[in-house]
Amino acid sequence: MEYNIDLKPYNTFGLNCKAKEFLRLRTEEDLDLLQSEYGKQTILFLGFGANVVFVDNEFGGLVAKLENKGIDVKEEDKNFCSVEVEAGQTWDDFVDWACERGLSGVENLAGIPSSVGAAPVQNIGAYGMEVKDSITYVVVFDLKENKFITIKNEECNFAYRNSIFKYQEGNLLIWKVGFCLSKNFTPNINYKALEEKIKKENIVSLTPKLIAQKVREIRNEKLPNFKVLGNVGSFFKNPVIEKHQYELLKKDYKDIVAFDSGEKKKISAAWLIEQCGYKGKRIGNIGMHDRQALVMVNYGGASGEDVLHLAHQIQKNVKEKFNIDLNIEAHII
Ligand code: EPU
């Protein structure tokens, strides 16, 4: 156990916060100590720290940081490869591992700052792919029952940036994730920005590795590097609204950016925020990125209060202008 640990290096937003207690989880033996703390104090599981917003200067409980690493091939045949990956593994290293072997299923998710264990929580998705489509199961350690449980994909209730792991009581620690990767590669290039890039560069022979490279290039063109400008990726979710509300909005805003989402319409939150004048706008130490209006950036020294103030201002303006509720995607602590 470590005490009074500065969490700034452990959150990509670069917010100042101190953890009263801090525990690194590397092996199953480390879970004994964690389990003995369960019920005594609030426990926060921390992966890469790429989706957390520490609004207070102090976290009064225990931060348990996942540092278990490893990729284990469980089974393979000529079509598929089943792997089990430890939760503390860096997501992008796993993507590289798969792409190097010509395995597909996660290549469009290249470059996402995350740990493998955090990936199922919000069902990370980008460039036309969601992690739910390659996950087969999630192994959790149940602190309440003091045992491991395997949760099958169908039981995870995966949806757009959502899963059962968002609504648990804090007793389920994701320890390993099982994936099924394919050896029969069919490129997924339906996402407009990716399709355009591949056409423009005249790429004919695609591989998972090449897709991952192109996705990283697109990300680098518009998303800020958290090492330079602190951020948590998309700050809000793209709102999903009824079709009739969309039709009404379309009359007033011809260029509104929207995508089909079942019977409903998913509206680009970046577009909504941009229309309200926040793209590239800076208020003190905080602002919305100048190349992607959905990404809140910390210019250095921003406080949790600054973050929430700007977030609420944007939510209010979007509601007034479009009558749409923007929900925060990041995990507010
Ligand atoms: N757009 C604007 N203004 C902007 C940026 C975008 O109007 O400042 C419009 C453009 O028309 C653009 C469209 O919005 O074509 C979509 O933009 P983008 O491709 O950047 O995607 P997004 O919907 O803003 C989502 C995910 C990202 C993911 C990208 C790519 C959410 C909340 N965000 O963003 O995920 O990388 O798609 O697939 O769904 C994250 O979750 O942290 C994240 C970065």
Task: Give the pLDDT confidence of 161-177 residue by residue, as tens digits.
Answer: 999 999 988 899 999 99
Instruction: Give pLDDT, residue 204.
Output: 87
Among residues 325, 326, 291, 330, the alpha carbon closest in space to that of 307 is found at 330
| DSSP H or E run through 312 | helix 304-322
pLDDT confidence band for 198 (50 / 70 / 90):
very high
Pocket-testing residue among 268, 273, 289, 327, ligand 1, by greatest number of atoms within 8 A of Cβ: 268
3 state SS of 32: helix
- DSSP assignment of 171-208, as one string? -EEEEEEEEEEESS------SHHHHHHHHHTT--S--H
Catalytic annotation present for 196: no
Instruction: Give pLDDT, residue 169.
Output: 86
Residue 268 Cα, ligand 1 centroid: separation in angstroms? 7
**Vertex 321 angle, CA 315 and 323, to 5°:** 70
Q: To the nearest whole number, what is the mean pLDDT of the chain?
A: 97
- Give the Cα separation of 186 and 207 in Å (integer): 9
116 burial type by CB count under 10 A (0-12 exposed, 13-18 middle, 19+ buried): buried
CA-nearest residue for atom 41, ligand 1, is 234
pTM for the structure as a whole:
0.95
Tokens 């926040």, residue located: 278
- Please count the other Cβ atoms lying within 10 Å of the Cβ belonging to residue 291: 12
- Give the Cα separation of 203 and 181 in Å (integer): 23
On the question of pLDDT at 320 being above 90, the answer is: yes
Question: Which tokens go with 311?
Answer: 């977030």
**204-252: per-residue pLDDT in tens?**
899 999 999 999 999 999 999 999 999 999 999 999 999 999 999 999 9
Tell me the torsion sign for CA atoms 215, 218, 222, 226.
positive
Instruction: Give pLDDT, residue 324.
Output: 98
3 state SS of 113: coil
- Give the Cα separation of 12 and 295 in Å (integer): 12
Contact (Cβ atoms closer than 8 angstroms) between residue 64 and residue 25: yes
The closest-lying atom of ligand 1 relative to the alpha carbon of residue 193 is 19
SS3 content of the chain, % helix, strand, coil (to 5): 30, 30, 40
Pocket-testing residue among 121, 271, 296, 314, ligand 1, by greatest number of atoms within 8 A of Cβ: 271
